[in-house]
Structure 1
Amino acid sequence: MWLGQPAISSASARQTDLDWIRISMTLVVVLYHCSMFFNPQPWHVKNNVMDNGFIFAYTNLVVNWMMLVFFAVSGISAYYSLQKRDSKGFLKERLLRLGVPLAFGMEASMPIYVLHQPVIVTIGYLIYALRRPVPAKLLFLLAAASLVIMLLYHFVIRRNRVLRVLFGMKAARRLRRK
């Protein structure tokens, strides 16, 4: 089976192969951004031990094609979707399907985007002097940054009226206290 063939032959079946490509590529992008701390290319904060081997090769390899894969999968998905419905149905389905993530994204993406850089740089600076192998530092940076960003977003930014506005979110009329 190759990328253009459906994983399941039924016309109404979901293209699970495209879903797995999306999931895999999302992990590739996250790992790419965390690995920038360890490769010798310019970045804000650098580890005391650079990796001129695997991590350097990985970042140089994926930087050229990672976003292109997302665009290709999007186009292939649109092609399959248009095979099942007319253009009006396609537009309606896209609006309904993207509406909820868009609503969440308008509320959450800006704070997460603003937080990710300083959190990664701060944690990277704190683990700079640790005498651990680069892959261990990379995994710790990935896990710790994800946890800190989500905790800050959920427990600090979403619950503070001033911070909500400063991070590009709608001002809440009443914040629920739990």
Structure 2
Amino acid sequence: MTQQKAPPTTTTPGPTTRARLFFVDNLRVVLTVLVVLHHAALTYSNIPLWYYTEPAQDPSGHVLDLFIMLNQTFFMGMFFLLAGYFVPGAADRRGRHGFTRERLVRLGVPLLLFVVLLRPLASAPGYTTLLATEPDLPYWLFYLFTADPGPLWFAEVLLVMSLVYVMVRRFRERRSTAVVDVTGSDAGAGVAARAERPADTTPLNWFSMGWFVPFLLFAVGLALVTIAWRYAFPAPYWPIVGLPSPGYLPQYAALFTLGVFAYRRNWLMRLPNSAGWGGLAVALVSLIGLGVSVIVLGEAALVPRTWQSMAGVPVETFFAMGVMVSLLVFFRRLFNRTNRFLRFLADNAFAVYVLHAVVLVWVGVALSGWEAGALVKFFGLAALSVPLCWAVAGAVRAIPGIKRIL
């Protein structure tokens, strides 16, 4: 019997180009603004986890603490969800090897750029302050002991997830080819020959359960995995890798994976409008639950491995999932459009992510002599830094060759 081989998927032409999802571009812009605001809040909060800080001297700092904790529950997870959504299509178009090269350039090079060039600029004020107590401390030693990827931990983790996706895809394609070789038929060529994605108007009906039951199962499962993970790995920071929030790694990995599956099944476009209101309701109820848990559980909820900290995980998870679903649906309904200004914001959003630390730090230093409450200074820093970040990003991307990596 003549053996047949499946065509090599790394050279198979990609699928027909689909219309650009402008609402995703706009949502990424908003999430990037939240990143800038998050770090601006860290500057003046009671959580001194930033390159330049002025710890709050008045009660308004607690408002910033609350914003940081709520924002942390969902904003980076949503970045991973959206990133995962576009991975399969990019791999289809470029092939495994082309996709790997593209990820190494678009994620690896900015990561190195930040570590080598931008982090010294962002950490300079901290080093200057430290010299007051350690005048003989050389900068190279300070740099070595404070080495981390900063905000570019996202690029670091996303690069690892993308490479894992490539390895899994390679395994599936090889397995598919082996099935074809043995059977002499196309029965195993499902990976090589991609099925047509469902149309936007195809009803989303997961096993006749609608959208809410799968949402519920996913949230419960993620909460349980997160509880186990945080008990096993309670450290709030991983110094060598530079992860500022390792407790959220299960969420990041789960949402990236969900994004990959969502692309093949076109879930972003098929998610019903009712899910937006349902997600909003879940988020609001969970927000009330978070408030109650803070009052009832007290400060013990912030201590790793305590039952109080574990008890708050399900409520936190449902809040995050509700916010994400509602944002996806409402942006799709209300902001699925573009213009010259929105394109500028979207095109420069990743560059803002890479560059914003330096802008925030030095604008913060410039405002250091301003006597005001923490919340007031936060608004001042945000009002100056957000537009300046996009202006700097646009100027940097105008340099020949930079657009390839930013």
TM-score scaled by structure 2? 0.27
Whole-Å separation in 2 of the counterparts to 1:50 and 1:37: 15
Q: How far apart are 1:135 and its partner, in Å?
A: 4.8
Q: Which amino acid aligns with 1:99?
A: V
Residue aligning to 1:69 = 78
Q: Is the 8 A contact 1:48 1:128 kept in 2?
A: no
Q: Deviations over 1:112-141 (max 9, x none)?
A: 233224375676466456344545422443
Name which of 4, 7, 16 aligns with 2:22.
Answer: 16
Mark the CA change 1:15 to 1:90 in structure 2 (over 3 Å): closer, same or farther.
Answer: farther
Residue aligning to 1:167 = none
Whole-Å separation in 2 of the counterparts to 1:114 and 1:78: 32
Whole-Å separation in 2 of the counterparts to 1:48 and 1:131: 11
SS of the aligned residue for 2:54 comes to coil
Aligned length: 137
Q: Is 2:370 aligned against 1:130?
A: yes
Q: Is the 8 A contact 1:38 1:51 kept in 2?
A: no
Higher helix share: 2
Q: Is 2:37 aligned against 1:34?
A: no
Q: Is the 8 A contact 1:51 1:134 kept in 2?
A: yes
Q: Is 2:291 aligned against 1:51?
A: no
Mark the CA change 1:58 to 1:33 in structure 2 (over 3 Å): closer, same or farther.
Answer: same
Q: How far apart are 1:71 and its partner, in Å?
A: 1.0
Q: Deviations over 1:58-80 (max 9, x none)?
A: 11101122221111111111144
Q: Is the 8 A contact 1:38 1:46 kept in 2?
A: yes
Q: Deviations over 1:71-129 (max 9, x none)?
A: 111111114445xx36x536425634763675466445632233224375676466456
Q: How far apart are 1:144 and its partner, in Å?
A: 6.0
The higher radius of gyration belongs to 2
SS of the aligned residue for 1:36 comes to helix
Whole-Å separation in 2 of the counterparts to 1:92 and 1:57: 43
Whole-Å separation in 2 of the counterparts to 1:13 and 1:94: 24
Unpaired runs of 5+ in structure 1?
Answer: 1-9, 155-178
Q: Is the 8 A contact 1:81 1:90 kept in 2?
A: no
Coordinate RMSD, CA, aligned: 3.8
Residue aligning to 1:95 = 101
Q: Which has the higher contact order (CA 8 A, sep 6+)?
A: 2
Q: Is the 8 A contact 1:40 1:51 kept in 2?
A: no
Q: Which amino acid aligns with 1:130?
A: W
Name which of 106, 112, 126 aligns with 2:118.
Answer: 112
Q: Aligned residues: percent identity? A: 18
Mark the CA change 1:35 to 1:20 in structure 2 (over 3 Å): closer, same or farther.
Answer: same
